[in-house]
Structure formats: structure tokens, C-alpha cells
Amino acid sequence: MIVDSLKNAETYVGLHPAFREAFEFLRQADLNALEDGIQEIHGKDLYVSFQKAQGKDAACALLEAHRKYIDIQFLMEGNEQTGWKPREACAEVAKTYDADKDIEFFADPPQSFIRLNPGTFTIFFPGDAHAPMVSTGIIHKCVVKVRIG
């Protein structure tokens, strides 16, 4: 897992061939003007999901993990906490892996929480179980999905 500000994104472009284009997309002038939903950059290999929703209580936020994609989650508005735990340490399966949606859920409590402010991003690799959208307010964010497998 990586947490940083978008102004430092250049540091991470060497981690995956699609990261440069992903971060260039996030640097667009007005992401807030884009509608909620999915916007493809390179088909299913690189796409973005926009969402604006009421945050969840930490007790209700399940850890999730992916096998085929890396998540770059960028907070545009609001304040968010995200739970984190190594995928290999998760023991309580809440929903088994769905290959079509590339997601599995765990009922384990997060090992830690990260506080995010607008302009920050997290990178979650397949080994990172994460519980996003924890907040008492509205969160507006986008998730860049980067295919790895």
C-alpha cells in the first residue's frame, strides 16, 4: 500500500507501465465535472470509476481485495478513512471471490486506518485488503483500476 499526495505521483510511475497514464488522467483540470460511473481510458486494462456517496461507519466497512487489478484511489472531496490489513492475514471470508467483479470481502477488522484528505491517493496492490469510504460525511472520489493479470 502507498499513500501520498498527487503532487508526488511522479515517484511511483515506474511501478507499473500504466501508472504514468493513470496519474496524468488524475491531474486533469476538473475531475469534479466528470459524472459518476465508469470511464474507460484503455478498455478494461485501465479505467476509472467515479463515485460520490455518504461515508460508512467503520464497523460496517468490510475489507475488500482484488486479484486482477491495482486500485489507485484518489480523494477529490470530503475526508475519508480507509482500513487496511495484509490480504494474507485475513481469515474471515465474508463473500468469496467473484472473478467477474474481481473482488472478495473479509469480515476481519482492519489492522490500521489511514486518514485521507482531498488531493491524496492510495495505491492498493492485490496483497492489500482495504475498507474504503469510512466517513461521517459525503465522499467524492475516483478509483483508477490498473490491470495486472
Neighbours of 75 (CB within 10 A): 22
pLDDT in tens, 48-70: 999 999 999 999 999 999 999 99
19 membership: H or E segment, kind and range: helix 19-26
Q: Which residue has the cell 485488503?
A: 129
Residues of the chain with pLDDT under 70: 29, 149
CATH hierarchy code of domain 2-147: 2.60.120.370
Separation CA 37–CA 52 (nearest Å): 10
Give the residue extent of every domain in the chain: 2-147
Residue 43 pairs with which residues in a beta bridge?
A: none
The predicted structure's pLDDT at residue 29 = 65
Strands 63-65 and 103-106: antiparallel
Which pLDDT belongs to residue 55?
A: 96
Residue type, 117: N
